[in-house]
């Protein structure tokens, strides 16, 4: 009998509905269905990118896994152990293993702390080292993120955006984490700095066997970094595939439209730009059936009545939530 090793992270039918309060007199006025039944796995040392338009629920997914917000329903497992319902007393241990890097390093770093103390803080809080061992650990982390050691005595405002993001990454690595949620971690940086931080994350992943949940609205960046991609639309995952399959043979009409907007570096290749009709519907009152049906060029009666489930769309591991099997090119 073979015993299956559980994935590092397993997310099962995860939901986060933000209740809408009813103005002056309170009362229940419905909810924002920000995350509405999302499932996937992430292996040790793997990068899964989560992409989709603004408001589709990417950050809510990250925050719910991190327990910065409580889920409404569903399950999250870390190494096979359930973490979505941990009592506050046990959340600490989970937080040692799952860390986050946000988009704006400036607002997430304490401006009054020196870099040394910013990086040392999680090590001290988790009781992992002190004295000279603590100093050695901080110095090693500075090396890992390629910051000069003399930067330890300085304050966050003395650094550029890219360097501040290196400080944020060092702090996320500090407690010996297995998984880092990167929420638009490079989105605010200049193009060349973006590439440097992406390369740094890739190198750290190889060196440390880190898993990354890489949340980004920028598909061009994702293409250089990721192993697999999950595409979200209005609180749901509509397609998951490995990088190659997603970029070369996307299945879902929404994924195809998103990809059509990504610039192709090779001038001999032309992608037909797909302009989607209308705006993303409100997550307070998402469309019935397929949530994408109000904007889909292939909408038909079944789409308005029946919600498509994720099902095989090609190679193993490639799944898409669309009723159609063969989707013609979108023109």
Q: Which of 7, 57, 71, 289 binds ligand ATP (CB under 6 A)?
A: 57
Give the nearest distance from C-beta 218 to ligand ATP in angstroms: 10
State in angstroms the smallest separation of the CB of 104 from ligand ATP. 12
| Element of type H or E holding 180 | strand 179-183
Q: What are the beta bridge partners of residue 319?
A: 240, 312
- Residue 57, Ramachandran bin (φ over 0: left; ψ between -120 and 50: alpha; else beta): left
62, 188, 215, 317 from 47: Cα distances, Å? 14, 20, 10, 15
Question: Segment contacting ligand ATP (CB under 6 A): 54-62, 131-139, 267-275, 311-319?
Answer: 54-62
Q: Which pair of structure tokens corresponds to residue 152? A: 């330890």
Best CA proximity match to 232, nearest among 243, 240, 224, 244: 240
Q: Binding to ligand SF4 by residue 310, rule CB under 6 A?
A: no
Cβ atoms 180, 191 nearer than 8 A: no
- Under the binding rule (CB under 6 A), the answer on residue 276 touching ligand SF4 is no
**Contact (CB, 8 A) for 16 and 64:** yes
Question: Which residue, among 275, 298, 294, has the nearest Cα to 285 in the 3D structure?
Answer: 294
What is the phi/psi pair of residue 183, to 5°?
-95, 100
Report the partner that residue 57 touches, choosing among ligand SF4, Mg ion, ligand ATP, none (CB closer than 5 to 8 A by kind).
Answer: ligand ATP
Rule CB under 6 A: which of 287-306 touch ligand SF4?
290, 292-293, 296, 298-299, 303
Q: How far is the CB of 53 from ligand ATP (least distance, A)?
A: 7
* 12, 74 Cβ separation under 8 angstroms: yes
The site for Mg ion (CB under 5 A) is made up of: 59
Minimum distance, C-beta of residue 253 to ligand SF4, in the bound complex (Å): 5
In angstroms, rounded to a whole number, what is the distance separating the alpha carbons of residues 79 and 249? 32
Contacts of ligand ATP in 2-21 (CB under 6 A): 18
Interface map 253-292 toward ligand ATP (x if CB under 6 A): ------------------------------x---------
Our finding on whether 52 is near ligand SF4 (CB under 6 A) is no
**11 to 178, 193, 290: CA distances (angstroms):** 16, 32, 22
Binding mask 58-77 for ligand ATP (x = CB under 6 A): xxx-----------------
User: What whole-number distance in Å separates Cα of residue 24 and Cα of residue 40?
Assistant: 40
Which stretch, 73-81, 118-126, 203-211, 320-328, contacts ligand SF4 (CB under 6 A)? 320-328
> Which of residues 55, 161, 281, 287 is near ligand ATP by CB under 6 A?
55
| φ, ψ at 231 (rounded to 5°) | -100, 125
In the complex with ligand SF4, which residue's Cβ is closer, 228 or 291?
291
Q: How far is the CB of 92 from ligand SF4 (least distance, A)?
A: 42
Using rule CB under 6 A, residue 323 touches ligand SF4: yes
Query: Which residues of the chain form contacts with ligand SF4 (CB under 6 A)?
Result: 253, 290, 292-293, 296, 298-299, 303, 308, 322-324
Q: Which residues bind ligand ATP (CB under 6 A)?
A: 18, 32, 34, 52, 54-60, 217, 283
């Amino acid at each position: 009998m073979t015993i299956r090793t559980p994935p590092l992270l397993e997310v099962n039918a995860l939901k986060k509905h933000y209740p809408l309060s009813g103005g002056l007199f309170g009362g229940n006025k419905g909810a924002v269905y920000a995350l509405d039944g999302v499932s996937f796995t992430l292996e040790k040392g793997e990068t899964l990118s989560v992409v989709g338009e603004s408001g589709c629920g990417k950050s809510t997914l990250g925050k719910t896994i991190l327990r910065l917000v409580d889920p409404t329903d569903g399950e999250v497992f870390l190494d096979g152990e359930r973490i979505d319902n941990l009592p506050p007393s046990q959340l600490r241990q989970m937080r040692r293993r799952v860390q986050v890097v946000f988009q704006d390093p400036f607002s997430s770093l304490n401006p009054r702390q020196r870099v040394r103390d910013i990086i040392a803080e999680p090590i001290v809080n988790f009781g992992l080292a002190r004295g000279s061992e603590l100093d050695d650990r901080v110095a090693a982390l500075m090396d890992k993120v390629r910051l000069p050691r003399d930067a330890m005595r300085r304050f966050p405002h003395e650094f550029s955006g890219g360097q501040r993001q290196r400080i944020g990454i060092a702090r996320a690595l500090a407690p010996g984490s297995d998984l880092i949620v990167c929420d638009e971690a490079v989105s605010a940086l200049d193009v060349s700095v973006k590439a440097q931080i992406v390369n740094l994350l890739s190198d750290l992943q190889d060196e440390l066997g880190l898993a990354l949940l890489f949340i980004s609205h920028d598909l061009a960046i994702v293409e250089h970094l990721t192993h697999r991609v999950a595409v979200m639309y209005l609180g749901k995952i509509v397609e998951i595939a490995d990088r190659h399959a997603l970029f070369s043979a996307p299945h879902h009409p929404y994924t195809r439209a998103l990809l059509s907007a990504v610039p192709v570096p090779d001038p001999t290749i032309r992608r037909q730009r797909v302009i989607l009709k209308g705006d993303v519907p409100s997550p307070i009152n998402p469309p019935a059936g397929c949530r994408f049906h109000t904007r889909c060029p292939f909408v038909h009666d079944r789409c308005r009545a029946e919600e498509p489930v994720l099902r095989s769309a090609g190679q193993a591991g490639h799944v898409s939530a669309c009723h159609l099997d063969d989707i013609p090119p979108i023109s």
